[in-house]
Amino acid sequence: MSTFTHLDLFFFSGTGNSYRAALWMAEAARARGLESQVSPTDAAQPEREPGPERLLGLLCPTHAFCAPWAMLCFAMRLPRGRGASAFAMLTRAGMKVGRMFVPGLDGTGAYLLALILLIKGYRPVGAAGLDMPATWSVVMPALSPASTQAILARARPRAGLFLARMLDGRRCFWSVIPLALGILLLPLTFAYLVMGRFFLAKLFFASGKCDGCGLCARSCPVQAIRMRGQSSPRPYWTFLCESCTRCMNFCPKQAVEASYPFGALAYYLANIPVAVLLLDALARRPVVERFFDPDGPLGAAGPVVEAVIQYPYKLLALAVAYFSFSLALRIPQINRLFTLLTPTHYYRRYREPATKLKELR
pLDDT band at 287 (very low <50, low <70, confident <90, very high): very low
* Cβ atoms 129, 114 nearer than 8 A: no
Name, in order, each residue with C-beta under 8 angstroms of 20's C-beta and a sequence gap of 6 or more: 132, 152, 352, 354, 355
Looking at residue 295, its pLDDT comes to 53
Taking domain 6-189, whether its CATH number is 3.40.50.2300 is answered by no
pLDDT band at 284 (very low <50, low <70, confident <90, very high): low
Looking at residue 258, its pLDDT comes to 96
Q: Where are the beta strands (DSSP E) in 197-337?
A: 204-206, 225-228, 234-237, 256-258
Average pLDDT on 261-282 reads: 82
Poorest-confidence range of 60-64, 91-95, 270-274?
Answer: 270-274
pTM, two decimal places: 0.91
* Cβ atoms 200, 136 nearer than 8 A: no
Residues 259-269 as b/e (b if ≥16 CB within 10 A, e otherwise) read bbebbeebeee
Chain CA centroid to CA 257, Å: 17
Q: What is the Cα–Cα distance from 180 to 105, expressed in whole angstroms?
A: 10
Average pLDDT on 134-148 reads: 92
Average pLDDT on 236-244 reads: 95
- Residue 155 confidence (pLDDT) above 80: yes
Average pLDDT on 154-160 reads: 97
Q: What is the Cα–Cα distance from 361 to 339, expressed in whole angstroms?
A: 29
* Cβ atoms 11, 68 nearer than 8 A: no
pLDDT band at 251 (very low <50, low <70, confident <90, very high): very high
Average pLDDT on 289-306 reads: 56
